[in-house]
Amino acid sequence: MLLLEAATLRYVDVNQAAIDVYGYTREEFLTKGPYDLREAGHIGDLAEALSKFDRDASNTIDTVHLRADGSRLDVHLTVVTVEHEDDRVYIVTVQDMTERNETLARALRSEALLAHDTLHDRLTGLPNRTLLNERLTAAVERARERNHMTAVLFIDIDEFKTVNDTMGHSAGDALLKEIARRLRSNARQVDCLARMGGDEFIAVLGDITNVDHAAEIARELARVTAEPIRIDDGEINATCSIGIAMFPRDGDDAETLIRNADTAMYQAKRAGRATACFFTPAMHHAAAQRLRLQGRLQKALEEDAFELVYQPIYEMDGALRSSEALIRWPQSDGTVVQPNSFISYAEESGLIVPMGAWVLRSACVQSAKWSRATRPLRVSVNVSGKQLADPSFVRTVREALRDAKLAPALLELELTESVMTVNIERTAAVVRELHDLGVRIAIDDFGTGYNSLATLRSYVVDTLKLDRCFVVDIAKSQVDQAIAAAVIAAAHGLGAKVIAEGVETAAQSAILRALKCDAVQGFLFARPMSAEQFGALLRAESSVPVYA
């Protein structure tokens, strides 16, 4: 309790409780007045409070005082005005509210944080699906009233799973946060930017006047997300595929617009990734077909309904060198579905991993059978990026060789150049581990990437397969001949052999022989054939060593 003289505004008495709370001695208190206890921001309201004390016999006030050590003291004051020896005196009862107020503030902050977390993604801080639906619905209603359009952009990071699998989830989280930052900082015309979950983002563009405006913004978002990203000590070249749906053309509610933008995004993926695509009604049919096909693929895998064919690969002197195993999907009506009709769907659904494991096991078993019946013959198997990113892939290869009792040197794994340029450090480590098993490594479709020769510096490679695009016109194109010559020379300098793909004419074969290509593969020599036909081919030829 404090006793304050009204005329001088000086404390004339103070009890021990106040001394303990404020930290001033009794003597220090008696030299002070209420202005001395107040924070600068709370001095201005004291005059108003004093005028109330003069009018009313009793008042209460909540304010902030300072302790002797300068710390803040939240107080609830009860002031009673009395007459004492012809002087007006204020009896001030002080209630320390500091702890109570801090507890309340913490509770309010926790409540606000909980409310924020309920509507925002914790990793990126962006609105989540719930808040997105609210804002998209509001944007649609506003566009309806103004007779404008609203665009919904469904943004998906290309090959995000590969980053997660090869570099770890911490790198994946860092990539998501950086992509979110770039989208946010370059989305001045975006009403809402949200994370749907995983590697999927949604941008809502309100008051769009035409589709070209939406396309321009999508291109800019694709551009800024495609710039290299530094993560840890490495660099990631991430791109995004974007699907666009427009209100009112492609839907008149949030759920429909998001679903159609998602469908368009998958079309962008199939168009080569790193691009944007507008929704069209025909995509619904394609999406339904894709789901049906993925279901059929799953069933075919469970029922062991695929088969392998083998295309011979010949040395330039005509000796049978090896074979490439190629998957086919026989149908009940006698037709056969070629891989270019289903491999992309297997990639999208993730079925490519178990499908690739089946191909690997089957090819190893067949090669071992040929080796026992005729002579050792190497078999080549194609490996997708998702397989290589699978942490258990090396074990899968090791087990396939062990179960088939096949010598590792008789297995060659064909990796596309594009796969080998994603996270080179990790991929190179996996390739070295495979090579250490004794398995041979080939780069398929070599020459089609932007960093073809640079790729070779990071890998142990046994074979380069010259892509057919450089073979088809090699007999009449000096440029293609020069490219083929450079690839062959580079490969030989690294101790690797070169196989030319897609050889269909004697002229092509003659040019490749002159350029010192090591081996050829194509319809000029043999088409892909069944295991039985290939076995007959092996039995008919004379025994020729395959590798040194």
- Specify the pLDDT at position 159: 79
CA distances 236 to 18, 160, 165, 177, 225, Å, are 64, 11, 14, 13, 11
DSSP three-state, residue 403: helix
Question: What pTM was computed for the model?
Answer: 0.61
Q: Which CATH entry fits the domain spanning 2-100: 3.30.70.20, 3.90.1150.10, 3.40.190.10, 3.30.450.20?
A: 3.30.450.20
Q: Which of 193, 236, 189 is nearest to 214 (CA)?
A: 189
**Percentage of the chain surpassing pLDDT 70?**
89
Q: Are 447 and 498 in contact (CB under 8 A)?
A: no
**pLDDT tens profile 72-114:** 888 888 888 887 677 788 888 888 888 888 878 777 776 666 6
Q: Which tokens in the block code for residue 30? A: 């008696």
- By CB neighbour count within 10 A (0-12 exposed, 13-18 middle, 19+ buried), where does 235 fall? exposed
CA distances 504 to 132, 426, 468, 527, Å, are 56, 37, 10, 10
Considering the chain, what is the average pLDDT of its residues? Answer: 86
The strand pairing partners of 130, in sequence order, are none
- Specify the pLDDT at position 450: 44
Question: Mind spelling out the 3-state secondary structure of 81-96?
Answer: EEEECCEEEEEEEEEE
pLDDT higher than threshold 70 for residue 418: no
In the chain, where are the structural domains located? 2-100, 120-280, 300-540
Q: Are 390 and 419 in contact (CB under 8 A)?
A: no
- Specify the pLDDT at position 156: 94
Q: Are 264 and 279 in contact (CB under 8 A)?
A: yes
Cα–Cα distance, 445 to 471 (Å, whole number): 11
Identity (one letter) of the amino acid at 502? G
Could you tell me which residues come within 8 angstroms of residue 307 by beta carbon, excluding any fewer than 6 positions away? 327, 328, 329, 330, 530
DSSP three-state, residue 466: strand
Alpha helix (H) ranges present in 272-405? 282-302, 343-349, 352-373, 385-389, 393-404
Phi, psi for 155 (deg, rounded to 5): -115, 120
Contacts by 214-218, CB closer than 8 A, 24 or more apart: 214/149, 214/151, 214/153, 214/244, 214/246, 215/244, 215/276, 215/278, 217/151, 217/153, 217/189, 217/190, 218/153, 218/242, 218/244, 218/276
Q: Which tokens in the block code for residue 480? A: 């293609």
- Specify the pLDDT at position 279: 93
- Burial track 159-187 (b if 16+ CB lie within 10 A, e otherwise): bbbbbbbbbeeebbebbbebbbebbbebb
Rounded mean pLDDT, 337-353:
87
**Tokens 């020379």 identify what position?**
489
**pLDDT tens profile 508-535:** 999 999 999 999 999 999 999 999 999 9
More confident residue, 60 or 134: 134
Q: Which CATH entry fits the domain spanning 120-280: 3.30.565.10, 3.90.1210.10, 3.40.50.1370, 3.30.70.270?
A: 3.30.70.270
**Percentage of the chain surpassing pLDDT 90?**
40
Cα–Cα distance, 500 to 514 (Å, whole number): 13
Q: Are 37 and 66 in contact (CB under 8 A)?
A: yes
DSSP three-state, residue 243: strand
In which order are the strands placed within the sheet that holds 276-278? 192-197, 200-208, 149-157, 240-247, 276-278
Q: Which tokens in the block code for residue 264? A: 């368009």
Is the domain 300-540 a CATH 2.130.10.10 member?
Answer: no
- Specify the pLDDT at position 238: 83
**pLDDT tens profile 379-413:** 999 998 889 888 899 999 999 999 999 999 999 99
